[in-house]
Amino acid sequence: MAENIYAHLESIPVEQLVEIGLAGVSQRETLLDAVLARVAAQLPTVLRGATCDRVYLVGCGDSLFAGLAARFAFERLTGIPVSVVESLDLARYSLVPETALVIAISNSGEVAMTVAAAQTAQEAGAQVVALTGSGESSLARVAPAVVSAPCIAREDFAAQAGRILGNFSFNLLALYVMAMHLGQQLGTLAAPDATRYAAELQRLPGAAGRVVALAPELGDYLEQVDEATDVFFLGAGPSYGVALFYQAKFFEQVQRPVYAAHLEEFVHEQFYLLRPSRQAQVWVLAPSGANLQRGLDLMAGFRQAGAHTAAVTTGESGRVGRVADFVFDVGPVPEMFSPVVTSVPGELLGIQALRRWGKGGFIGAHRGQQMAINRQLTRMNVTSPQISRGQHG
């Protein structure tokens, strides 16, 4: 699916590519509704009889970030400890207990190290489930698969773009639904709570779809910060994975270095890079919830240190506006599910950056070669090391 678009990137003018991207994001509500229905229909079969006392969410890139963003919701919905592990680390270093459930996440289902991680977990005796965009992929052949991506007609170019851009939110929503199903199956999620959470999940597609209206504001923002030398994306809790996702979208769309960090760790490290002469832009993911006040306190400090601040919040624009120079409010959303919605401005920011700065990561004469090398590195044959349980030396 992605290759169909990538094959034409070098011949598509920037403005047309931007419009395709925006049209794709505008379909988010419809596509997320399809994901909800599709995933819910698969779970009674895929998770039938699943039991575990620990969950591992495993992936690379956006798939890993989705796991980080979903971790706390997964724990709350199941009552089970959740570890988020990079695929290489699980395949090469982790001791996975037989009582664990490992969810291996890969949109293409062809990321070799994620496939290797799933195989390692199976060899350890753990239950393994694949979360992928293709039921015919290598990952789906290794383990029972939940296919998160909606079915899209190949000739619908905008919908294809919407599917590619939406993979992060598709996987998030799928993980929430999986956690709810597992919690009910294990008896750790009470029926009244399940009903309430299900209603909240049903509202997420509409909330995410409405965020596309922020696209012009994000374009205006970029015009005002054109001279910024450093850009940081910060988040904590479920928003840390979203901050990493923002960084990835900027890398992909334009070749400008930006940085993502945990909100609290930034204060201990990168904070010392802030000074008025560098015109730094600090983005804070600040949804209403447990971390909001800490985010407000730190944004005030960032401004005192000479940085400009931008924030993405969920219905708290009044409070956030007192300490942020730019506020992008996506409307009220429960913090545990907020990444599905707060991630959308990051996609729009990347698209508008492409419009602002022209040919970058996803297009240009070097893109075909870059894609070929990337495919070789991520999908090359990976030989699983023979590691005995309890020995990694």
Give the pLDDT confidence score for residue 268 in this predicted structure: 95
Q: How many CB atoms lie within 10 A of CB 369?
A: 9
Give the pLDDT confidence score for residue 248 in this predicted structure: 93
Tens digit of each residue's pLDDT (9 = 90 or more) over 333-363? 999 999 999 999 999 999 998 888 875 544 4
Q: How is residue 101 written in tokens?
A: 């459930």
- Domain 212-357: which topology? Rossmann fold (3.40.50)
Same fold, 2-210 and 212-357: yes
CA distance 145 to 393: 33
Rounded to two decimals, the pTM is 0.91
Q: How many CB atoms lie within 10 A of CB 390?
A: 6
User: Does the pLDDT of residue 267 top 70, yes or no?
Assistant: yes
Collapse the DSSP code of 100 into the 3-class scheme (helix H, G, I; strand E, B; otherwise coil) and give the result: strand
Mean pLDDT to the nearest integer, 47-56: 92
Tens digit of each residue's pLDDT (9 = 90 or more) over 306-316? 999 999 999 99
Residue predicted with more confidence, 59 or 7: 59
User: Does the pLDDT of residue 7 top 80, yes or no?
Assistant: no
CA distance 49 to 336: 26
Give the pLDDT confidence score for residue 150 in this predicted structure: 79
Tens digit of each residue's pLDDT (9 = 90 or more) over 99-152? 999 999 999 999 999 999 999 999 999 999 999 998 999 999 999 989 888 776
Tens digit of each residue's pLDDT (9 = 90 or more) over 57-68? 999 999 999 999
The DSSP code sequence of 48-90 is TT---SEEEEEESTHHHHHHHHHHHHHHHHH-S-EEEEEHHHH
Residue predicted with more confidence, 223 or 242: 242
Domain ranges of the chain: 2-210, 212-357
Give the pLDDT confidence score for residue 154 in this predicted structure: 61
Mean pLDDT to the nearest integer, 213-240: 91
231-267 burial: b if 16+ Cβ within 10 Å, else e: bbbbbbbbbbbbbbbbbbbbbebbeeebbbbbbeebb
The CATH class of the 2-210 domain is alpha beta
Percent helix, strand and coil across the chain, each rounded to 5? 55, 15, 30
CA distance 111 to 379: 5
Please say whether the beta carbons of 260 and 247 come within 8 A.
yes
At 57, give phi and psi (nearest 5°). -105, 120
